[in-house]
Amino acid sequence: MSPVPRFGLLVVGDEILSGKRADKHMPRVIELLAACGLALAWVRFAPDDRSALTHTLREALAGRDVVFACGGIGATPDDHTRQAAASALGVGLQLHPQARELIEARSRQLAALKGHAFEPEHPEHLQRLQMGEFPQGARIIPNPYNQIPGFSCTSPSGATLHAVPGFPVMAWPMIEWLLEQHYAAHFQRGAQGERSVIVYQGIEAQLTPLMRQIEATHPQCKVFSLPSVDHPEYGRHLELGVKGPLQAVQAAYADLLAGLRAAAAHLGPEVVR
């Protein structure tokens, strides 16, 4: 089986960066991945600027990551994800034949709802067709909300971009579909775990050697440290723990506790997730 891919999230939109809207995609994508036993490796935010977005996509697609991009795939002047993706991949835009069929079906449906005959040359339909212009070689992502698809494409290095709308009602079911269709072989549902303990007055620099030792001894696990200086109950403390496959976590956590006790650390409550 191929290695579990790294998953990244790119959220596109000036409205997020300006604070007009709060991002909802990151917590939801974390939930969708966690339900499959997977994790989000990184997240980036990008403006509605074609040059900046092209640069961000070029960097994001330079490796082998799976990148979910939410937003900017419409056909208004502030939508740049389709064009930026094509530039980052060094290809042109092309009206995808299946996307054309889906968009035309949507236009026919909207015309019927208004009691109008469908006009293939109507400006609204022609503008809508632009939402089917994807980087050459792209595959479509079905959109269960209004049938206007997103797209997937692969970079020369092996990274995969999945571009979906910015609307959560569309984006989240599309990402869930992508996970089920393309990454089910990597699912580890119910197989991941996390154990941690509160270390009162803990100092990360002093505990770093122990953290490195745990990761070296238990390579399947990842050690994490969450410091806090003003917690209302614990005061200054660290939440120190391990996460990974359940069986490996149990052994790694036992060694972590043993190391903390050997260092005479003042331990508080334990946390199981």
- Residue-level pLDDT at 245: 84
Whether residue 162 sits in one domain with residue 31: yes
Is 239 a domain residue? yes
- pLDDT category at 100 given cuts 50, 70, 90 is very high
Q: Do 171 and 211 reside in the same domain of the chain?
A: no
Boundary-marking domain end, from 186, 219, 252: 186
102 and 85 in a common domain:
yes
156 with 89, same domain: the answer is yes
What pLDDT score was predicted for residue 199?
96
pLDDT higher than threshold 60 for residue 83: yes
Q: Domain span at residue 90?
A: 7-186
Give SS3 for 21: coil
CATH (domain of 141): 3.40.980.10
Phi, psi values for residue 129, rounded to 5°: -60, -25
The three-state DSSP-derived secondary structure of 141-199 is ECCCCCCCCEEEEECCCCCEEEEECCCHHHHHHHHHHHHHHHCHHHCCCCCEEEEEEEE
Quick check: is 93 in a domain? yes
Final residue of a structural domain among 167, 186, 205? 186
C-beta neighbour count of 38 within 10 angstroms: 22
Q: Which of the listed residues 161, 186, 211 is the one where a domain comes to its end?
A: 186
User: Structure pTM?
Assistant: 0.82
Q: Is residue 1 part of a domain?
A: no
pLDDT surpasses 80 at 191 = no
233 within domain boundaries: yes
Residues 222 and 165 in one domain: no
Same-domain pairing of 32 and 139: yes
Task: Please check whether residue 195 is in contact with residue 272, taking contact to mean a CB–CB distance below 8 angstroms.
Answer: yes
In-domain check, residue 29: yes
CATH code of the domain containing 220 = 3.30.70.2860
Residue 68: is its pLDDT beyond 60? yes
Answer yes or no: is pLDDT of 220 > 80: yes
> Domain check: are 63 and 26 in the same one?
yes
Q: Which 3 state secondary structure label does DSSP give 208?
A: helix
* For range 217-225, the mean pLDDT: 94
